[in-house]
Amino acid sequence: MSKSLVKAIKILDCFTVNPEMTINELAETANMPKTTVFRLASSLEEAGLLVKERKSSHEVTYRMGLKLLTFGKHVSEQLKYNKVALPHMKKLNEEVDELVHITVLEGNEAVYAETIDSSKPVRLVVKVGRRAPLYAGSAPKLLLSSMADEKIEAYLDEVELTKLTDNTLDNKERLKEEIQKIREKGYSISHSEHFKDTVGFSYPIYNHQKKMVAALGVSIPVLDYSEEKGKVILDKLEDTAKRIWDELGYTV
The set of residues, in sequence order, having a beta carbon less than 8 Å from that of 1 and lying 6+ positions away, is none
What are the tens digits of pLDDT across the range 118-175? 888 766 777 888 889 999 999 999 999 999 999 999 999 999 999 999 999 999 999 9
The Cα-based distances of 240 to 65, 70, 232 in angstroms read: 39, 30, 12
Cα gap 243→88, rounded to integer Å: 8
Phi, psi dihedrals of residue 46, rounded to the nearest 5°:
-60, -35
- Note whether 27 and 113 are same-domain residues: no
Last residue of a domain, one of 17, 43, 64: 64
Domain boundary among 39, 64, 89: 64
52: which strand partners? 62
- CA dist 201 and 169 (Å) reads 16
pLDDT of amino acid 151: 93
Compute the distance between CA of residue 182 and CA of residue 177 in angstroms, rounded to an integer: 9
Domain count across the chain? 2
Q: Quick one: what percent of the chain has pLDDT higher than 70? A: 96
d(CA 156, CA 144): 10
Same domain, 18 and 100: no
pLDDT number for residue 1 = 55
Using CA atoms in the order 241, 225, 115, 189, what is the torsion angle rounded to 10 degrees? -50
With cut-offs at 50, 70 and 90, classify the pLDDT of residue 89.
very high
Percentage, residues of the chain above pLDDT 90: 71
Residue 224: C-alpha distances to residues 36, 137, 207, 211, 235 (Å): 58, 18, 33, 33, 17
pLDDT tens figures, 11-70: 999 998 899 999 999 999 999 999 999 999 999 999 999 999 988 878 899 999 888 877
Task: Tell me the pLDDT tens digit for each residue of 221-246.
Answer: 998 899 999 999 999 999 999 999 99
Looking at the structure, tell me whether residues 37 and 105 fall in a common domain.
no
Q: Where are the alpha helices (DSSP H) in 97-215?
A: 138-145, 149-158, 172-185
Q: How many CB atoms lie within 10 A of CB 102?
A: 27
Q: Are residues 55 and 170 in the same domain?
A: no
Residue 130: give the domain boundaries: 71-248
Report the phi/psi class of residue 126: left, alpha or beta, with left for phi > 0 and alpha for psi in -120 to 50.
beta
Q: Which residue, of 38, 64, 90, is where some domain finishes?
A: 64
Q: Are residues 40 and 104 in the same domain?
A: no
